[in-house]
Structure 1
């Protein structure tokens, strides 16, 4: 009897284990599905905003939240909403493109643009422009201004004085971009490439121009030197006329000799001065320096 009872008990336990095994697989699948759903929802519920970033919240029922920018840190939202994270630091891009001059000459430009979105207007920027605001606003706006201003200039003007005009035009473009909720810190022209033949021709023309200007300067300098010598000679002539009228006839050489003797005697060089007693009375000067 006891053996029969034991056999019945074993059968009973086996039935329970079989039922548990049969129900374990659906239960395991259920838990896996719950974990997948939680993982999916956590990615859409928890957002970490890092330093130098700002978040814009979009609600499925209320739209973009434009009056508040989410700062750095951990934030939670409803899983059916979305958080757009923007880099609010100063960033740099270096676009390059080809433009045409007023004569149809192709010029290659390489520029550098430093920019950052206006932090307090990040929600408006997201609503009006979107995350791709660099390619939507900044580059097209500045490129359009450059094409317009360079299209009125010649190759030589761009090569020589064109940078100042281009920078002034870029400043106008910056003001237009600022109206789109973006701060453009600076725009630099890194390089302006002209075709080699055109660049060499312009450079040669500039060199020749400088040579002509240098020649004109030399001629002008020589003319001024000639005028100076002429005026100096006229002054000496007038001086001698005045002295000759004040001295007896033939005494000018003696007077000049006395002046020369006085000047030499004041110098630091060693010398011997012998004042002559001849008809002219001019000094004889012997330098004793070795």
Structure 2
């Protein structure tokens, strides 16, 4: 009777140990994640394999470190200097993800805090390098897309051998000192007003030229018409008009030899 309780106790202990072993040996890697295996009794990090999504069985004394592999983002507000030494605040967001096949190397060399260890410093260095090439006016107006692309290229170059893929950089805001910003806005307003004045002046000049050309054309046409109207042509046109009037059915009186009409008949009509 005494052996049964001992046997039951052993069985319970065995079951508990088995459950602990199973729990320690089973690993579930979720969607958008990958695992790196650390072999406690072996050579440390398994550099040959990256463990994908799903259920995995490992030795209970080993450890599976799980990393998110989906695209992630990190935002940072940095204070950098422009080309002429003025302080500029840049608010940027970077989209990145770890290189899947190189995840064991990333874990071994950089660790789970790789974002703060290598990514953030690379972004900061790239922003300082790129913004330092431009004046505040360029940063304020039309250079944001160019800056984004250049920061992206700088970060990609910096992290090329660091097992991190940088997909995109977005510069959300570039903040200049208030006085510099106001000065730039005044300058831009003056330039806009100057361009508007030049446009109006050009338009008025073109309209004056058009009117001049139109007037010259009319003057030339009048000179040509005046030169072509000789006395014979006028007499001929008068005869034609007289004949047309004489053929009309209305009653009329025709006076021949009117001196004031250049010798043409004068027709006096009554209805």
What residue is the counterpart of 2:248 in the other structure? none
Name the structure 1 match of 2:30: 50
**Post-superposition offset of 1:246:** 0.9
State the 1:91 CA deviation.
1.3
- CA deviations on 1:131-185 (whole Å, 9 max, x unpaired) are 2222222222122111012123221121012313312312312432344222222
Q: What is the Cα-based RMSD across aligned positions, in Å?
A: 3.2
Larger deviation: 207-216 or 77-86? 77-86
User: What is the deviation of 1:206?
Assistant: 0.4
The range that moved more, 48-57 or 98-107, is 98-107
Aligned match of 2:184: 202
The answer for unaligned runs of 5 or more in structure 2 is 238-259, 262-271
Match of 2:212 among 210, 222, 230: 230
Which digits, 9 at most, give the CA deviation of each residue in 1:8-52, with x for residues without a partner?
A: xxxxxxxx99xx9xx99xx98xx78995x7676555433221111
Structure 2 CA distance for aligned equivalents of residues 98 and 39 of structure 1: 54
Q: Does 1:244 align with 2:226?
A: yes
The count of aligned residue pairs is 232
1:203-258 per-residue CA deviation (whole Å, 9 max, x = no partner) reads 11101110011101111111111112112221111111111111137x99xx9xxx
- Identify the match of residue 75 of structure 1 among 49, 56, 72: 56
Q: Is the 8 A contact 2:97 2:166 kept in 1?
A: yes
Shift of 1:56: 0.8
Q: In the alignment, which residue of structure 1 is the partner of 2:101? A: 120
In structure 1, stretches of 5+ residues that fail to align are: 1-15, 256-277, 280-290
Is 2:112 the partner of 1:131? yes
Q: For 2:228 and 2:142, locate their aligned partners in 1 and report how far apart those are by CA, in whole Å.
A: 64
What's the TM-score, normalizing by structure 2?
0.74
The question of whether the paired residues in 2 share the 8 Å contact of 1:178 and 1:184 is answered with no
Is residue 212 from structure 1 mapped to residue 187 from structure 2 by the alignment? no
Among 39, 42, 46, the residue aligned to 1:59: 39
- Mapped contact 2:38–2:46 kept (Cα < 8 A): yes
What residue is the counterpart of 1:270 in the other structure?
Answer: none
Taking the aligned partners of 1:96 and 1:188, their CA distance within structure 2 comes to 12
Which residue number in structure 1 is paired with residue 163 of structure 2? 181
Q: How far apart in 2 are the matches of 1:140 and 1:38? A: 46
What does residue 66 of structure 2 align with? Answer: 85
Contact 2:156 2:165 in 1 (8 A): no
- Alpha-carbon distance in 2 for matches of 1:41, 1:108: 54
Shift of residue 189 of structure 1? 1.0
Distance 1:194 1:32, change over 3 A: farther
Provide the C-alpha distance between the structure 2 equivalents of 1:231 and 1:105, rounded to a whole number of angstroms. 55
TM-score (norm 1): 0.69
The 3-state SS of whatever aligns with 2:129 is helix
Which whole-Å CA distance do the structure 2 matches of 1:179 and 1:105 have between them?
A: 33
